[in-house]
């Protein structure tokens, strides 16, 4: 049920001309960004690290906009009512959508790496290739669950779109996708520690450059399970609110 | 504890609260449904008729759990629509008119697969069920095309197929024949009649009187959020008993002439329908008063087409009920 749902939503998202255009361009930009930011450093493994970070930024953007907009989108399409009519928990209905956004985001990660290799000749040697793949999967699933929590809280807020835009860059920074957390001011530490993105990024970096991947991946997964639980409760509450306020349909 | 009735609505009310205005938000309240009660027996085909904005869709959405009633209660197959949402959802299908509500970039087949999964059709039956339904709605052979390339009528048929996926006990059809061509509409009516004959309870709204007359066992006419009349099509037609209808085709009738007609002795209702350059005037009057002569005198100087006099139909009865509301 979750699998088929995810597959269908990936299909639906990935066939949007707008999304495809973005997906073509953004990874190139990200690869370029990574390369020029770190060329001065000149070290090969810094480059690949940066490319991975940049790719992860793409995953985050995809999840943020996709999940934040997931409910709004379904509403515009008129499909929200039809999926909420299913005799299932609202979480199970919405989760495939947010995981799908994570998956399409994962493509962005791969594409960034591919372009980095093609255009700039970044050598793709990972310290733990298998662990990298595993960490990437964990990352996508975790972001999907995190997205679920976002999706449900966003419906309750009036200015969800503004918030979406406001969240994009801070999370990139705070969770250390681009620069190591250690160079950030100390007050960001606690915030970073509760974001699954932080641990996901860390797991990916460790898989790239060497280091203990599994603890970070584990923490990332644990936090996202908490997100899933919270998101589950939030969705049930949100669904009831929406039925009372008549916001499942557009008009 | 399933009851004898498929649908029981008791004093349903729904008020929409909203905000309008941007700089100076003002609270708005619309009483869309104001105390609607009715019951539908199992296997019955029940029609809900009424003018635009009467509250038909709102009533349906309260019954199919998409909206919480502001007050009042309703049960579907004996299950409360507010407290036993999942039990209700398992047993109902919902089809609405219009071309939204589908995944545009997926094929019809993928849409059906996805909703079959969501609505809990067992994997074993899924393939067979989808094939059956594609056949039923006449989309077999085109199921692999993306929905964005579908015509309005094709989308509508896909909606219907989706609504039937899990073989619901109770089917809510909200203007299912919008945008469907006459031949397909006839097939749709046959399908609905067959479903009802095999025990499915159907709650139908439509603006086509012929459809309602042909299909429904009973009809409720709703206007201003309240039921104005309820009965079999024959019973409703009796509302217009003792009346006669004069139809006049005219070109360029001034409004003053129409209001003059309304004032004629014996005249009960008047309606004007624009048909391109032509206007169709329908005048209902008491049967024992011959108003045709008076009408033609009032319309002196207006170019007229065919003039005819006939027995009232369900539509005339409907117009009378709605105008009286
Ligand atoms: N989401 C909403 N928010 C505020 N008002 C609404 C909402 N939905 C419907 N209304 C109002 O409630 C009233 C009843 O609407 P409803 O859609 O039930 O009518 P209807 O009988 O289905 O009409 P139609 O024949 O046009 O489909 C209308 O006045 C409409 O403006
Ligand atoms: Mg309606």
Q: What percent of chain A has pLDDT over 90?
A: 0
Rounded distance from Cα A159 to ligand 1 centre (Å): 25
What does the pLDDT look like over B135-185, one tens digit per residue?
988 888 888 888 888 888 888 889 999 999 999 999 999 998 887 888 888
Closest residue to A87, CB basis, from B67, B104, B120: B120
C-alpha B142/C-alpha A127 separation (Å) is 50
Residues 6 or more apart from B294 whose CB is under 8 A from it? B264
Pocket test for ligand 1, best of B33, B36, B51, B53 (most atoms within 8 A of CB): B53
Closest Cα to residue B158, out of B128, B188, B195?
Answer: B188
Query: Using a CB-CB distance cutoff of 8 angstroms, which residues of chain A are in contact with residue B31?
Result: none
Record: contact B68-A243, CB cut-off 8 A: yes
pLDDT (tens digit per residue) in A6-36 = 777 777 776 666 666 666 666 667 666 666 6
| Phi, psi angles (nearest 5°) of residue B84 | -115, 50
A164 close to A68: Cβ distance less than 8 angstroms: yes
Whether the Cβ atoms of residue A99 and residue A144 lie closer than 8 Å to each other: yes
Cα(B32) to centroid(ligand 1), Å:
6
Structural domains for chain B? 5-231 (3.40.50.300), 238-324 (3.30.70.100)
Atom of ligand 1 nearest to the CA of B56: 21
Q: What pLDDT does residue B201 have? A: 95
Size of interface A-B (CB pairs under 8 A): 80
Which pair of structure tokens corresponds to residue A228?
């899933």
Taking the C-alpha atoms of residue A238 and residue A90, their distance in angstroms, rounded to an integer, is 9
For ligand 1, atom 31: residue with the closest CA? B53
| C-alpha B57 – ligand 2 centre gap (Å) | 4
Given B92, B114, B162, which is nearest A4 (Cβ)? B114
Return the exposure string of A116-151: e unless at least 16 CB atoms fall within 10 Å of the residue's CB, then b.
beeeeebeeebbbeebbebbbebbbbbbbbbbbbbb
User: Between chains, do A85 and B16 touch, taking CB under 8 Å as contact?
Assistant: no
Kindly report the nearest CA distance between residue A34 and chain B, in angstroms: 34
Q: Which ligand is nearest to the CA of B32?
A: 1
CB-based contact A246 B118, cutoff 8 Å: no
Q: Which of B62, B91, B103, B111 to substitute to test the interface with A, most A CBs within 10 Å?
A: B103
CA distance B204 to chain A (A): 18
CB count, 10 Å around CB of B64? 24
Strand partners, B175: none
Please give the pLDDT value at position B90: 92
Task: Give contacts of A1 with chain B, Cβ < 8 Å.
Answer: 117-118
Which has more pLDDT, A182 or A227?
A227
Tell me the two tokens of residue A53: 């970070």
Mutate to test the pocket of ligand 1, among B28, B32, B62 (most ligand atoms within 8 A of CB): B32
Average pLDDT over residues A194-213: 75
pLDDT of residue B205: 94
pLDDT value at A251 more than 50: no
- Nearest-CA neighbor of B220 among B132, B321, B130? B321
CB contacts of B106 in chain A (<8 Å) are: 8, 11-12, 15
Chain B residue closest in CA terms to A248: B66
Alpha helices in B8-71 (DSSP H): 56-63
Which ipTM did the prediction report?
A: 0.79
Contact B101 A240 (CB under 8 A): no
Distance from CA of B58 to the nearest CA of A (A): 10
Contact B49, B212 (CB under 8 A): yes
B205: Cα separation from own chain's centroid: 2
For residue B31, which ligand has an atom nearest its CA? Answer: 1
Q: Which residues of chain B have pLDDT under 70?
A: 1-3, 19-24
Q: What is the pLDDT of residue A212?
A: 76
Domain membership flag for residue A52 = yes
B119/A86 CB distance under 8 A: yes
pLDDT at B174: 93
What does the pLDDT look like over A108-163, one tens digit per residue?
777 777 777 777 776 766 777 777 788 888 888 888 888 888 777 766 665 556 66
Structural domain includes residue A91: yes
Q: Per-residue confidence at A250, pLDDT binned at 50, 70, 90?
A: low
Contacts of A93 in chain B (CB under 8 A): 118
Which residues lie across from B221 on neighbouring strands? B49, B229
Looking from the CA of B76 toward its CB, the CA atoms found within 13 Å total: 29
| Structural domain count, chain A | 1
Domain span at residue A170? 2-245
Mean of the per-residue pLDDT values of chain A: 73
- List pocket residues of ligand 1, CB cut-off 6 Å: A 246, 251; B 16, 18, 30, 32, 50, 52-58
Q: What are phi and psi of B76, to 5 degrees?
A: -125, 125
Strand B45-49 versus strand B201-205 pairing type: parallel
Distance B56 CA to ligand 1 centre (A): 8
């Amino acid at each position: 049920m979750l699998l088929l749902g995810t597959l269908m939503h990936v299909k639906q998202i990935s066939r949007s001309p707008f999304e495809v255009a973005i997906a073509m361009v953004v990874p190139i930009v990200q690869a370029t960004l990574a390369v020029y930011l770190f060329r001065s450093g000149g070290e090969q493994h810094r480059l690949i690290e940066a490319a991975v970070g940049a790719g992860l930024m793409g995953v985050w953007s995809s999840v943020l906009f996709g999940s934040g907009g997931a409910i709004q989108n379904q509403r515009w399409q008129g499909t929200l009512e039809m999926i909420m009519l299913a005799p299932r928990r609202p979480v199970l209905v919405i989760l495939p959508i947010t995981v799908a956004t994570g998956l399409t985001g994962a493509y962005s990660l791969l594409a960034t790496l591919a372009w980095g290799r093609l255009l700039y000749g970044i050598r793709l040697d990972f310290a733990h290739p298998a662990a990298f793949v595993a960490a990437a999967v964990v990352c996508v699933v975790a972001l999907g669950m995190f997205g679920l929590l976002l999706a449900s809280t966003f419906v309750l807020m009036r200015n969800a779109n503004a918030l979406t835009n406001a969240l994009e860059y801070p999370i990139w920074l705070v969770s250390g996708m681009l620069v190591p957390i250690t160079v950030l001011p100390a007050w960001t530490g606690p915030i970073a520690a509760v974001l699954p993105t932080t641990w996901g990024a860390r797991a990916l970096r460790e898989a790239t450059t060497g280091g203990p991947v599994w603890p970070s991946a584990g923490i990332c997964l644990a936090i996202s399970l908490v997100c899933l639980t919270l998101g589950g409760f939030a969705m049930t509450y949100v669904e009831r609110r929406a039925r009372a306020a008549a916001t499942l349909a557009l008009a | 504890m399933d009851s004898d009735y498929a649908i029981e609505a008791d004093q349903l009310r729904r008020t929409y609260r909203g905000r309008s205005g941007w700089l100076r938000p003002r609270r708005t309240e619309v009483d869309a449904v104001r105390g609607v009660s009715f019951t539908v027996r199992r296997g019955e085909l029940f029609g809900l008729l009424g003018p635009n904005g009467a509250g038909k869709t709102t009533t349906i959405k309260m019954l199919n759990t998409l909206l919480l009633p502001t007050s009042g209660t309703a049960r579907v197959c004996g299950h409360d629509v507010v407290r036993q949402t999942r039990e209700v959802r398992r047993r109902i299908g919902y089809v609405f008119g219009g071309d939204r509500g589908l995944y545009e970039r997926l094929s019809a087949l993928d849409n059906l697969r996805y909703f079959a999964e969501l609505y809990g059709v067992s994997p074993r039956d899924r393939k067979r069920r989808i094939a059956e339904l594609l056949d039923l709605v006449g989309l077999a052979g085109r199921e692999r095309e993306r929905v964005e390339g579908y015509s309005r009528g094709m989308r509508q048929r896909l909606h219907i197929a989706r609504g039937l996926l899990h073989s619901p006990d109770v089917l809510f059809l909200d203007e299912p024949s919008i945008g469907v061509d006459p031949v397909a509409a006839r097939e749709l009516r046959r399908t609905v009649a067959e479903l009802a004959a095999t025990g499915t309870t159907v709650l139908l709204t439509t603006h086509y009187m012929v459809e309602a007359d042909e299909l429904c066992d009973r009809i409720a006419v709703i206007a201003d959020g309240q039921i104005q009349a309820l009965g079999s099509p024959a019973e409703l037609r009796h509302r217009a008993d003792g009346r006669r209808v004069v139809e006049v085709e005219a070109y360029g009738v001034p409004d003053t002439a129409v209001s003059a007609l309304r004032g004629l002795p014996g005249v009960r209702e008047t309606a004007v329908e624009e048909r391109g350059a032509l206007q169709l005037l329908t005048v209902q009057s008491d049967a024992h008063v011959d108003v045709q002569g008076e009408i033609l005198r009032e319309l002196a100087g207006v170019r007229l087409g065919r003039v005819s006099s006939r027995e009232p139909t369900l539509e005339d009865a409907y117009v009378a009920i709605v105008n009286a509301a």
